[in-house]
């Protein structure tokens, strides 16, 4: 298997667990138990029941007829926007909360940028009756007031990250520090396929349900399990990991990962890690990240708060290096226009993260009978204010 994690926690040259010794026992406990727990039939039963009755899975695989007409190919949307809380994020938090309970943990911490993962974590903590602390950058708390309110309604405490640039990367640092301070009682629910091993693999496994469902759904509609292309937007890369997971070893299925170029790759305001990143260490993982030549981590920018992470999960760095995935970067303005286009053509308002994936179509050439599955990773309600300001709606 070329694209799964190896015994040492690496995807090719990327991954590992570059963390202070204080975190070694936490990760060791997780590493020794996560596969055993996930593969346990009782766990699978609980997880699948919750996915079905609570999250609302399986999510539809929808044939987007008018988009298909416009771009002259067959476009399907995997409707993760229809999940409870409005995005794919909850697939992971449902899995991790069940895992935390089996590990006997009494307290949950998580980081959040735009607040989507924070809401998904607060939601499952309410469901499980477990204490929940969410770390969020001071800057993001101001920008994302509705999600802060949602988390509070769900019973979570919000801790403002005041260090560094006061955004997602700093919230992640603060959550990791909390975990250092509370190693025994607490489980850290990371929201993407980032961080030290085993997180990238564990989160990918909890998102893998996305591609598992696509296989049978596509077979029903097209008589084949295999699309020609998979397209996902990518920040840390969790929705992309879910979309690709069961297709990674089938190289006839081509993969396109769409990053946020922000105001343009060369503008100094970008989050295009594949173009601007170099191999380094961020949040315990060896991967591609945006940094100065001295190795200081750079603050990224995108109009979409879910994509402005300075790194990318180690799986994705490996997919890029091995040329298994093609990477594209899409500017703010292209993404915003694509968000409007999808809304008007298909009657579905996408999250701005998701809109980046749709913006790729005008730069790609497909054959008439090519089947393309796009991960419709989240709905646009949370971004309404940004859309309103941008288009003067």
The beta strand positions in 221-362, using DSSP E, are 229-233, 254-262, 278-282, 285-289, 325-331
Which value, to the nearest 10 degrees, does the dihedral of the CA atoms of residues 93, 95, 97, 100 take?
-130
Q: How far is the CB of 171 from other proteins (least distance, A)?
A: 12
Q: Does 282 bind other proteins (CB under 8 A)?
A: yes
What is the CA 329 to chain-centroid distance, rounded? Answer: 16
Q: How far is the CB of 161 from other proteins (least distance, A)?
A: 11
Q: Does 311 bind other proteins (CB under 8 A)?
A: no
CA distances from 198 to 48, 67, 286, 315 (A): 22, 38, 13, 12
Q: Does 295 bind other proteins (CB under 8 A)?
A: yes
C-alpha closest to that of 138 among 179, 178, 171: 171
Annotated active-site residue 192? The verdict is no
Q: Does 17 bind other proteins (CB under 8 A)?
A: yes
Are 98 and 46 in contact by the 8 Å Cβ rule? The answer is yes
Q: Which residues pair with 279 in a beta bridge?
A: 288
Q: How many residues bind other proteins (CB under 8 A)?
A: 36
Residue 7 vs 323, nearer CB to other proteins: 7
Q: How far apart are alpha carbons 275 and 293 in whole angstroms?
A: 15
Residue 173 vs 257, nearer CB to other proteins: 173
Q: Which listed residue (68, 74, 78, 111) is catalytic?
A: 111
Q: Which H or E run includes 203? A: helix 199-207
Q: Does 293 bind other proteins (CB under 8 A)?
A: yes
Q: How far apart are alpha carbons 99 and 84 in whole angstroms?
A: 20
Dihedral (CA of 59, 61, 63, 67) sign: positive
* Segment contacting other proteins by CB under 8 A, of 20-28, 145-153, 216-224, 322-330: 20-28
Residue 164 vs 264, nearer CB to other proteins: 164
Q: How far apart are alpha carbons 8 and 15 in whole angstroms?
A: 9
Q: Does 160 bind other proteins (CB under 8 A)?
A: no
Contacting residue, 2, 4, 6, 20, with other proteins by CB under 8 A: 20
Contacting residue, 44, 216, 279, 385, with other proteins by CB under 8 A: 279
Q: What would the 3-class secondary structure string for 112-168 be?
A: ECCCHHHHHHHHHHHHHCCEEEEEEEHHHHHHCHHHHHHHHHCCCEEEEECCCCCCH
Q: Does 16 bind other proteins (CB under 8 A)?
A: yes
* Segment contacting other proteins by CB under 8 A, of 113-121, 176-184, 263-271, 347-355: 176-184
Q: How far apart are alpha carbons 325 and 248 in whole angstroms?
A: 9
Contacting residue, 176, 271, 315, 338, with other proteins by CB under 8 A: 176
Q: Please give the residues from 23 up to 42 whose contact with other proteins meets the rule CB under 8 A.
A: 24-26
Q: How far apart are alpha carbons 179 and 176 in whole angstroms?
A: 5
Contacting residue, 18, 43, 62, 387, with other proteins by CB under 8 A: 18
* Segment contacting other proteins by CB under 8 A, of 11-19, 215-223, 239-247, 255-263: 11-19
Annotated active-site residue 377? The verdict is yes
User: CB neighbours of 168 closer than 8 A, spacing ≥ 6?
Assistant: 111, 112, 113, 137, 140, 305, 308, 309
Q: Does 268 bind other proteins (CB under 8 A)?
A: no
Q: Does 13 bind other proteins (CB under 8 A)?
A: no
Contacting residue, 85, 147, 217, 291, with other proteins by CB under 8 A: 291
Site residues for other proteins per CB under 8 A: 8, 16-22, 24-26, 163-164, 169-170, 173, 176-177, 180-184, 278-284, 291, 293-297
Give me the active site residues, please: 89, 111, 377
């Amino acid at each position: 298997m070329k694209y799964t994690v190896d015994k040492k926690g690496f995807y090719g040259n990327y991954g590992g667990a570059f963390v202070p010794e204080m975190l070694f026992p936490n990760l060791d406990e997780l590493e020794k138990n996560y596969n055993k727990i996930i593969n346990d039939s009782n766990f699978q039963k609980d997880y699948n029941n919750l996915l079905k009755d609570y999250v609302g899975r399986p999510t539809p695989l929808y044939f987007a007829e008018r988009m298909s007409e416009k771009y002259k190919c067959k476009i399907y949307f995997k409707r993760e926007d229809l999940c409870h809380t409005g995005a794919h994020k909850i697939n992971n938090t449902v899995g991790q909360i069940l895992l935390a309970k089996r590990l006997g943990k009494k307290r949950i911490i998580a980081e959040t940028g735009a607040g989507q993962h924070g809401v998904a974590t607060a939601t499952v903590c309410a469901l499980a009756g477990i204490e929940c602390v969410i770390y969020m950058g001071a800057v993001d708390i101001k920008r994302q007031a509705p999600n802060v309110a949602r988390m509070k309604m769900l019973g979570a405490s919000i801790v403002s990250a005041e260090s560094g640039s006061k955004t997602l990367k700093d919230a992640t640092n603060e959550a990791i520090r909390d975990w250092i301070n509370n190693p025994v009682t607490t489980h850290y629910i990371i929201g993407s396929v980032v961080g030290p091993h085993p997180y990238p693999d564990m989160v990918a496994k909890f998102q893998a349900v996305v591609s598992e469902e696509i296989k049978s759904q596509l077979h029903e509609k097209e008589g084949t399990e295999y699309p020609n292309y998979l397209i996902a937007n990518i920040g840390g890369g969790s929705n992309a990991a879910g979309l690709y997971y069961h297709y990674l070893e089938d190289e006839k299925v081509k993969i396109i990962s769409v990053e946020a170029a922000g105001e343009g790759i060369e503008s100094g305001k970008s989050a295009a890690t594949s173009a601007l990143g170099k191999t380094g260490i961020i949040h315990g993982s060896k991967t591609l990240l945006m940094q100065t030549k001295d190795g200081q981590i750079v603050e990224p920018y995108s109009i979409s708060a879910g994509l402005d992470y300075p790194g990318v999960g180690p799986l994705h760095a490996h997919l890029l290096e091995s040329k298994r995935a093609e990477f594209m970067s899409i500017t703010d303005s292209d993404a915003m226009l694509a968000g409007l286009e999808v809304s008007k053509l298909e009657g579905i308002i996408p999250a701005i993260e998701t809109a980046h994936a749709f913006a790729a179509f005008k730069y790609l050439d497909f054959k008439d009978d090519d089947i393309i599955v796009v991960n419709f990773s989240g709905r646009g309600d949370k971004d309404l204010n940004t859309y309103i300001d941008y288009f003067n709606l």
